[in-house]
Structure 1
Amino acid sequence: MEQGSRERPCSRSPEGSASSLTGAKPSLSGAIRAALLTADPRSKAMAAREVARNWRLGKLDFAFDVPMPDKPAWPAAPQLLDPRNMPRRGKGGSEKGRLALWHALAHIEFVAIDLALDMAGRFGGEMGKDFVDDFLAVAADEAMHFALLDRKLRKLSSHYGALPAHAGLWETAERTSHDVAARLAIVPMVLEARGLDVTPATLQRVESQGDKDGAKILGRILDDEIRHVAIGTKHFVAVCGKTGESPEKRWKSLVREHFRGGLKAPFNDSARNAAGLSRDFYAELAS
């Protein structure tokens, strides 16, 4: 996919500028941008894991000398449809329904790789190394999730791209590209938190169909999602702490402004609470 023409101006951390000028290490932002602009799904997953690994091993300079693209590169398939035009999946009991379920999950995790990479690359300069540590770890998790789901599809004699997919997942990134608080409020604290609500029921349904392999994948994703929501909540609360704002009030304001569609019950209160997202945040906004 052709990238957009408008990009967030780059910023440079004083901490990383000296080593960047000497060329001792590749810049972190350059490595993240390259991963975002990798279109092939398997290659993007490997690139995300490599960026996370190289950052963890100290092979990348904490420098933000190139901007993030407005849009990541994506493959020609799947065809991306408006959510209103997506075919209904049903409950996944038929072979067609099962394929649709696993394909939809694979697409969510594929886009989640880009969301986590963009979070680190777009806001890491202002937020610091702990923030980068966390969201590159999230990107590596999402890449692993995608790899597991891609393998699952191939076991079912299908592949990622075989079915149409939801076109709206990146829109939240575009609407919140200007504000780290808004991005944290919507991506981990709404979108990933929704995964905490719906994944247990999907896992139970998959188990009831005798799909032990699928249930194991969903269990792994659910465990990781709790940690991802906790990471987002932690950094959101920290941002609010710098300005003296109430995290709950600020979150509600940002959700009303940037999230299209209400928060839908039922909620997995225990998983949300384990991630630091108490009902004080979301109960008032439930539709």
Structure 2
Amino acid sequence: MSDLSTDNLFTAAARCLTETDPERKRTLAQQLATNWQAGRLSADAERAEPVTQSAGLPARLALVPPRQLVARKLSSRDGRAAMIHAVAHIEFNAINLACDAVQRFRDLPPAFYSDWIRVAAEEAEHFGLMGERLRDLGYDYGDFPAHNGLWEMAQRTAHDPLTRMALVPRVLEARGLDVTPGMIERFQAADDSETAARLGIILRDEVGHVAAGSRWLRTLCQERGLEPSSHFFRLLDDYMTGDIRGPLNLTDRRRAGFDAEELERLERLCQR
């Protein structure tokens, strides 16, 4: 029997979401994908446990406001480990975000669940890559403080899958497309080609994750009779007061489903 001990998709996703042990969460995310692909999970909302509002994090992880996080130079082992830990934390939270999208939004097509189950499994792989690198340097997940901005946005968008698709994959996760190439260069300059290579894997996969957000933004807008780009920028203004940081990674954002008009408008917001 699967360790998930359930044949219900929503319950299985919720169990992965609420798991606090990092290695256990990785295993549950991978099993979720395996069982869904094998047809062993039913998307029967009536038989599922209620939607959970909480996400599992290790008890030893200290969460602080972003302004309390100290920037460190990559010239030291501690500095490299702190940066790797920050990426690991993003990937851990990304498992939670993908599982939450599955367990929370229960009236969507099977393709929606296939996309976000795949994303959860890939984020688990990314967390494993960064966690392993942390241990190579003598550290582990939870050895540095972190902030909870990704999950806070998940809570703010919990009422609506369209709003979630617009603001989590296409804003917060898309920011990773912008900053990761620079991180890769910095690790290469610090003679840490191993970490740089692992970040390259994450960047490659994250293009597909943001693209899934773009796809479902447009699908859900079409169902509601909304123009996708206009609605995206309306949500951006409502939730983030149009606050976008640059520079933008235009090449990968195009691959992730941003059209030319959207990129032009985003660049204007960056300049503002």
TM-score over 0.5 (shorter chain): yes
Greater mean deviation of Cα atoms: 168-177 or 254-263: 254-263
Give matches, 1:126-205, under 5 Å.
126-205=107-186
Instruction: Report the Cα distance in structure 1 between the residues aligned to 2:117 and 2:104, rounded to whole angstroms.
Output: 12
Report matched runs for 1:176-255 at 5 Å: 176-255=157-236
- 1:93–1:260: structure 2 CA closer, same or farther, 3 Å change rule? farther
Provide the aligned C-alpha RMSD in A: 1.4
User: Matched residue of 2:40: which SS?
Assistant: coil
> Hey, what does 1:97 align to over in structure 2?
79
Given that 1:172 and 1:259 are in contact with CA atoms closer than 8 Å, whether structure 2 keeps it comes out as no
Read off the aligned partner of 2:243 and give its amino acid letter: G
Instruction: Find the counterpart in structure 2 of residue 263 from structure 1.
Output: 244
Paired amino acid for 2:95: I
Q: Distance in 1 between matches of 2:149 and 2:71?
A: 16
* Alpha carbons 1:172, 1:258 under 8 Å: kept: no
Q: Assess, with a 3 A threshold, how the Cα gap between structure 1 residues 220 and 262 changes in structure 2: closer, same or farther.
A: same
Is the 2:248–2:267 Cα contact (8 Å) retained in structure 1? no
Does the aligned pair in 1 maintain the 2:9–2:44 contact within 8 Å?
A: yes
1:153, 1:160 within 8 Å by CA — same for their partners in 2?
Answer: yes
Please give the alpha-carbon distance, in whole angstroms, between the structure 2 residues aligned to 1:258 and 1:36: 24
Provide the C-alpha distance between the structure 1 equivalents of 2:25 and 2:201, rounded to a whole number of angstroms: 21
Compute the TM-score of the two structures, normalised by the length of structure 2: 0.92
What is the alpha-carbon distance in structure 1 between the residues aligned to residue 256 and residue 50 of structure 2? Answer: 31
The correspondence for 2:65, drawn from 82, 92, 101, is 82
Quickly say closer, same or farther: Cα 1:260–1:164, change in 2 above 3 A. Answer: farther
Counterpart Cα distance in 2 of 1:73 and 1:214 = 26
Judge conservation of contact 2:236–2:242 (CA < 8 Å) in 1: no
Q: Partner of 2:104 in structure 1?
A: 122
Corresponding letter in the other structure for 1:227:
G
Aligned to 1:81, the other structure's residue is in SS state: coil
Any idea what SS the aligned residue of 1:71 has? coil
Cα contact 2:122–2:205 (8 A) shared by 1? yes
Identity %: 40
Label 1:77 to 1:33 Cα distance change in 2 as closer, same or farther (>3 A). same
